[in-house]
Amino acid sequence: MTILQQKLLALGLFIISTLTLSSPAVAAPYAFTPIDVPGSTETRALGINEVGQIVGEFRSMGSFQGFLMDADGSFHTITVPGALDTRAQGVNDVGEVVGNLRSLSAGNLGFLRNSNGSFETIVLPQASFSRPLGINNAGLIVGDFQNASGTHGFLRDAAGNFVTITALSSFLTQASDINNTGQIVGFSFTNNGNRGFLLDPQQGLSVIHFPGALDTVVNGINDVAQLAGVWGDVTTTHGFVREADGTFHTIDVPGSESTSALDINTQGQIVGHFTDATGTHAFLATPSLVPEPSTCLLLGSSLAGLVWWRKRKRFRHEVLSH
């Protein structure tokens, strides 16, 4: 390689690296990774935190157990002592896990698994069913519970105090997740079907609805107000991500019959589950970043300029040599 060619290569690499580092990026198709707990007949991922830990449930020998999967892919079973079924629903960044259990003696209860592995029971007053679904780093927990008047959302603080969340319906409301700024998401059953909501401490209640969908359910929120959820049409269900500016993106695992998005972290990683011909499986969806079209155009123009400059130098050399 001549000195001139080396200079051209170095300049081209410099332009490419500069454009890559300085240009904005847009989401490309997700890379989907299926997740199946070894020995399970079905697996669902229900929550993810900022360090990439994933929690969920799996069926084995006829019962459901919870799991926590570390970022390196190792699995840890979560089973509340004495429970027939255990479901791990949410996890925060310090490894505290919330979920629900079923037992013969106590019925359907909620639980908090502390980072040291100990369990606490969560039961709302006068409730026949208590289900914690999300927890933030301050220990605030959201979920739903059932009593004589219906199913309602709740917010529980670290001291154990409860607040009922009715949102769009006093009959059926679920509070699904809470982020570290205190924003709560969920859904309510209305006269028009299921409708998602975002409850902001400053801005109040907002309705979330996927355009054209029969039903919209919001399941997760991250700290930059991206939402993950499910929308339904007349044939099946699809996952979605809603950006903070209100833009929606459908999330469907390739080859699936249905897809549900359950949670999202600030890296844009999404967890959920899908069904196909082989059964129900969990998934992790990781977004790719590609240059904006304007960046690609600029890169192409720069490389074309390099080619033109090289040809011009060659032509000038040939003219002078004759």
> What is the DSSP code (8-state) at residue 84?
S
> What pLDDT is stored for residue 288 in this prediction?
82
- pTM of this structure: 0.82
pLDDT in tens, 114-173: 999 999 999 999 999 999 999 999 999 999 999 999 999 999 999 999 999 999 998 999
Q: Is the pLDDT of residue 301 over 90?
A: no
Q: CATH code for 26-290?
A: 2.120.10.30
**Residue in this structure with the two tokens 């899908």, named with its chain if needed:** 274
171 SS3 class: coil
> What pLDDT is stored for residue 73 in this prediction?
96
Kindly indicate the confidence band of residue 249, based on its pLDDT and cuts at 50, 70 and 90: very high
Kindly indicate the confidence band of residue 2, based on its pLDDT and cuts at 50, 70 and 90: low
DSSP secondary structure, 15-68, as one string:
HHHHHHHHS-EEE-PPEEEEE--TT-SEEEEEEE-TT--EEEEEEETTEEEEEE
> What pLDDT is stored for residue 254 in this prediction?
96
> What pLDDT is stored for residue 105 in this prediction?
85
> What pLDDT is stored for residue 11 in this prediction?
46
CA distance 95 to 183: 20
pLDDT in tens, 20-66: 433 333 334 799 999 999 999 999 999 999 999 999 999 998 899 99
Surface-to-core class of residue 314, CB atoms within 10 Å of its CB (0-12 exposed, 13-18 middle, 19+ buried): exposed
% of the chain surpassing 70 pLDDT: 81
